[in-house]
Amino acid sequence: MTVKLDTEGIRCIGIFEQSTGAGVMDCLVDTEANKVIMVVKKGDMGLAIGKNGVNINKVKKLLNKEIEVVEHSPDAREFIENLLRPAYVKSVELLNRNDKLCAYVEVLTKHKGIAIGRDGERIKKVKMLVKRNQGIDNVIIK
């Protein structure tokens, strides 16, 4: 799947990779929330964060934005689980409905609020990243 980045995203990726040594697969810049979401290569999560959070804190200062790091996975189910953490995902079912690929995600009842996020922010982020990286059109929490 090809991901298109804007100039701000490319700038953030350059700073992040140079500062942490972790490879970045995708980047979302949320200017409203002053936040950057980095999707790092599988296995690079430790590099991205660094010992005691040194690397991630350095990038936060350089970009002057909050940073969220998510580990990429070629498996759509695992990628969705990574995006929804710390919510516990019971199951992920991929179904083709009306020529659109949908992911039905079952989470613990007490974790539904975590999975959806305040004002639906988290689920919007999940839908956007899953569409860009996995080609899944919709994510539904049940």
Q: Cis peptide leading into 86, omega within 30 of 0? A: yes
User: What confidence category does residue 33 fall into, taking pLDDT thresholds of 50, 70 and 90?
Assistant: confident
CATH at residue 105? 3.30.300.20
Q: Say yes or no: 12 and 38 in one domain.
A: yes
> What's the CA angle centered on 96, arms 99 and 3, to 5 degrees?
75
pTM score of the predicted model: 0.90
Start-to-end Cα distance in the chain: 27
Q: Say yes or no: 85 and 110 in one domain.
A: yes
Q: Does the structure show a pLDDT above 90 at 87?
A: yes
115 neighbors 122 (Cβ within 8 angstroms): yes
> What's the CA angle centered on 57, arms 69 and 4, to 5 degrees?
40
pLDDT of residue 97: 85
User: What confidence category does residue 6 fall into, taking pLDDT thresholds of 50, 70 and 90?
Assistant: confident
| pLDDT tens-digit series, residues 92-107 | 999 998 899 999 999 9
pLDDT of residue 20: 96
Residue 81 is which amino acid? E
Q: Say yes or no: 81 and 67 in one domain.
A: no
Q: Say yes or no: 80 and 130 in one domain.
A: yes
pLDDT of residue 2: 64
For residue 121, the enclosing domain spans: 76-141
Number of domains in the chain: 2
Helices vs. strands in the chain: H and E counts, helices first: 6, 6
| pLDDT tens-digit series, residues 34-66 | 999 999 999 999 999 999 999 999 999 999 999
Q: Say yes or no: 81 and 133 in one domain.
A: yes
